[in-house]
């Protein structure tokens, strides 16, 4: 029997899956988690999901309420062959499009198929370092998100069924 998968991991996998679905409309898009090395031109376009922290919101009757904070960072470059100004403008437009697609994918079901109680853009987040190493004009963005979910009291492997 395979080992159990923590609720937190199942949520992160669901977020990755939703973002990976964008690849059908963004050719070459890769989605990964917790990247530590800079994103280079050859690695773009790319979305990186990074865990920022988790807070126990309270011990409710029979369950533990959690808020998981994460960032979705996107990296794109401008079209090839154009002058620098045109490539920079194209990179900015591509970044805005990728951000909008990521937001739409995540907001399509804020329960992540019933795993979460809410998924929303975070009001504020700590500064998030965008790791980029690119000679071409490129753009990067990071959007913080919060996920509220609950587990059975003292059991991080079982989602709470209480409402």
Q: What is the DSSP letter of 110?
A: T
Segment 30-89, tens digit of pLDDT = 999 999 888 888 899 999 999 999 999 876 778 999 999 999 999 998 776 667 778 788
Burial 142-157, CB ≥16 within 10 A → b, else e: bbbbbbbbbbbeeeee
CA distance 85 to 91: 10
Indicate if the pLDDT at residue 163 is higher than 60: no
pTM of the model: 0.88
Segment 100-116, tens digit of pLDDT = 999 999 999 999 999 99
**What would the CATH number be for the domain defined by 7-149?**
3.30.70.1700
């Amino acid at each position: 029997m395979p080992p159990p998968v923590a609720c937190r991991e199942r949520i992160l996998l669901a977020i990755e899956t939703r973002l990976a679905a964008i690849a059908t409309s963004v050719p070459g898009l890769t989605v990964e988690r917790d990247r530590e090395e800079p994103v280079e031109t050859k690695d773009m376009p790319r979305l990186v999901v990074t865990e920022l922290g988790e807070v126990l919101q309270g011990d409710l009757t029979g369950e533990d309420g959690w808020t998981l904070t994460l960032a979705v960072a996107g990296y794109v470059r401008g079209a090839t062959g154009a002058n620098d100004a045109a490539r920079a403008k194209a990179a900015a437009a591509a970044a805005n499009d990728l951000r909008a697609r990521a937001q739409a994918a995540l907001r399509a079901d804020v329960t992540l198929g019933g795993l979460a109680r809410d998924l929303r853009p975070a009001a504020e987040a700590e500064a998030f370092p965008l790791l980029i190493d690119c000679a071409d004009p490129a753009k990067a963005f990071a959007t913080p998100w919060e996920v509220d979910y609950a587990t059975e009291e003292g059991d991080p492997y079982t989602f709470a069924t209480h409402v």
